[in-house]
């Protein structure tokens, strides 16, 4: 992998990386197209990173179709796919972690306390191995994006982080590999995430600026679905990820909701 990157760099090529866990959907492909448009060479990593999953989570059933992924990446003109195995990424005796402290604590960090330590660590490892000039991250994982941006600043990494807007299904559901877990009934219920965010935006447009009022409206919309359970609804500052007591332009509204046994996330910036 390093040799490929060093060769590209020697010949003056810029390298963009799209880090993924595979099982590509249109969201991943959009990130790849963006990377293709802004760099000379594009590498995509596919690695289902075990250290960002808790023991009770879906690591073992995380969907996989490497052959299909390689075909899709090739159709976009990706130059290189990095497909390491667990032993290559985490050698016996591994014990070094990257912890982006405050930003990792709220939102998804509350119910997934070790998740972002795993994400930051594996992303730094990918940066060190692939040495990209640019890395593209989707805004659906908004907290992840902020954590990676912070890590890049704090550790002086020579990588430009480029965010990509959320890619949605025609009915508004944010694209996610985990959508493949949903039954037809759950797929219908999953629309409560985007619908509650739309209600939040509409309420703000009508002059409501109090987070509790908007949260109550969102909760009502979500819990109208018997199979939905709210993990969190966050309303706050889009940079610090701290809750605020009033909503304004630029406020982040982010949520995680269980639909049956599938945990989905989504967000908007007001």
Residues in contact with ligand PAF by the rule CB under 6 A: 19-21, 49, 52, 119, 122-123, 141, 144
- Minimum Å distance from CB 253 to ligand PAF? 20
Q: Which is nearer to ligand PAF, 81 or 199 (CB)?
A: 81
Reported as type and span, the H/E element at residue 143 is helix 142-154
Give Cβ neighbours of residue 88 (< 8 Å, ≥ 6 apart). Answer: none
Query: Which string of b and e fits 10-38 if b means at least 16 CB within 10 Å?
Result: eeeeebbbbbbbbbbeebbbbbbbbbbee
Instruction: Indicate which residue of 28, 114, 210, 220 is catalytic.
Output: 28
Q: Are 53 and 118 a contacting pair, CB within 8 Å?
A: yes
Q: Which is nearer to ligand PAF, 144 or 189 (CB)?
A: 144
Closest alpha carbon to 122 in 17, 52, 211, 185? 52
Structure tokens at 15: 């390298």
Q: Which is nearer to ligand PAF, 32 or 218 (CB)?
A: 32
- Minimum Å distance from CB 237 to ligand PAF? 22
Q: Which is nearer to ligand PAF, 165 or 250 (CB)?
A: 165
- Minimum Å distance from CB 246 to ligand PAF? 31
What gap in Å lies between CA 222 and CA 190, rounded to an integer? 9
Structure tokens at 22: 């595979």
Residue 28 among the catalytic residues = yes
Torsion region of 23: left, alpha or beta (phi above 0 gives left; psi -120 to 50 gives alpha): left
- Minimum Å distance from CB 244 to ligand PAF? 26
249 by Cβ neighbours in 10 Å (0-12 / 13-18 / 19+) ranks as exposed
- Minimum Å distance from CB 64 to ligand PAF? 13
What gap in Å lies between CA 214 and CA 12, rounded to an integer? 51
Q: Which is nearer to ligand PAF, 21 or 80 (CB)?
A: 21
Q: Which residues are catalytic?
A: 28
């Amino acid at each position: 992998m390093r040799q490929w990157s060093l060769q590209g760099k020697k010949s003056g090529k810029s390298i963009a990386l799209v880090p993924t866990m595979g099982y590509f959907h249109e969201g991943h492909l959009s990130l790849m197209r963006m990377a293709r448009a802004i760099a000379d060479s594009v590498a995509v990593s596919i690695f289902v990173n075990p250290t960002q999953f808790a023991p009770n989570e879906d690591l073992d059933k995380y969907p996989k179709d490497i052959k299909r992924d390689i075909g899709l990446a090739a159709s976009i003109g990706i130059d290189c796919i990095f497909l390491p195995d667990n032993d290559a990424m985490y050698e016996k005796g591994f014990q070094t972690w990257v912890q982006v402290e405050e930003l990792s604590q709220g939102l998804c960090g509350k119910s997934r306390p070790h998740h972002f330590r795993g994400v930051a660590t594996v992303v730094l490892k990918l940066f060190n191995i692939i040495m990209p000039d640019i890395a593209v991250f989707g805004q659906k994982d908004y907290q992840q994006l902020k954590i990676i941006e912070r890590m890049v600043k704090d550790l002086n990494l020579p990588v430009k982080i480029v965010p990509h807007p959320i890619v949605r299904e025609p009915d508004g559901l944010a694209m996610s590999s985990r959508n493949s877990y949903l039954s037809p009934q759950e797929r219908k219920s999953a629309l409560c995430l985007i619908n509650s965010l739309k209600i939040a935006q509409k309420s703000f447009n009508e002059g409501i600026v109090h987070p509790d009022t908007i949260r109550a409206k969102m909760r009502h919309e979500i819990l109208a679905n018997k199979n939905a359970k709210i993990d969190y609804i966050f309303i706050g500052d889009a940079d610090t990820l701290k809750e605020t007591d009033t909503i304004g332009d630029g406020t982040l509204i982010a949520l995680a909701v269980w639909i049956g046994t599938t945990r989905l996330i989504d967000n908007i910036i007001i």
